[in-house]
Amino acid sequence: MTDPIDVTRRTALAIGSVGAIGGALALAACSTDDSGRGPNATTTPTPPPSVTDEAPEEPTAAPDAPPADGDIAALADVPVGGSIDASIDGEPALLAQPTAGQVVAFSAICTHQKCVVAAAGPEFHCPCHGSKFDAATGEVIRGPALEPLAPIPVAVVGDKIVAAS
Ligand code: FES
């Protein structure tokens, strides 16, 4: 037969053990905040750095040759064998002069994901994903772009480059 005092002692020990475990859990719960601001302090999680493959929304190249009185640029502004950034009807464009007196123009909107392509001598370069285009033809030299830049009709009138629509 069990001694009633012994049962009481065992019960007290059991209760004491549960209390000790509960206390330890409570301390553990409080100890997760090591910020020194106490258990009621709120924390704002820091968002992870964003990595995106999306195209930026802002144009990346400013026109070198702003239009004056409807002219797109002066012929002398475009180096023979080279190219410049421009603006045609308020849209970013590219001008090239593959041979003396022959001027071509293209939309500067990349055919990949619509970044603004920049003049780079005999080529046009997209800063977003590295596509390269031939400045004389607008054709893709290197992707990821697959389609050529859209041509814009222009003409040389005197020493000016003008829209030819
Ligand atoms: Fe991707 Fe131009 S937007 S290469």
State pLDDT tens for residues 42-67. Answer: 444 444 444 445 544 444 334 444 44
Structure tokens that stand for 120 in this block: 């780079």
CA dihedral 104, 108, 111, 113 (to 10 degrees): 170
**The predicted structure's pLDDT at residue 107:** 98
Consecutive 10-residue averages of pLDDT for the chain (165 residues): 44 40 37 40 43 45 48 95 96 97 97 98 98 98 97 95 87
Pocket of ligand 1 (CB under 6 A): 55, 110, 112-113, 115, 126, 128-129, 131, 144-145
- Domains within the chain, CATH numbers bracketed: 71-163 (2.102.10.10)
Residue type, 1: M
Distance between start and end Cα atoms, the chain: 112
**The predicted structure's pLDDT at residue 105:** 97
**The predicted structure's pLDDT at residue 69:** 54
**The predicted structure's pLDDT at residue 71:** 87
Nearest CA-CA partner of 136 in 103, 92, 164, 162: 103
- pTM across the whole model: 0.60
**The predicted structure's pLDDT at residue 164:** 87
The phi and psi torsions of 103 (rounded to 5 degrees) equal -115, 135
Measured by CA distance, the residue closest to atom 3 of ligand 1 is 113
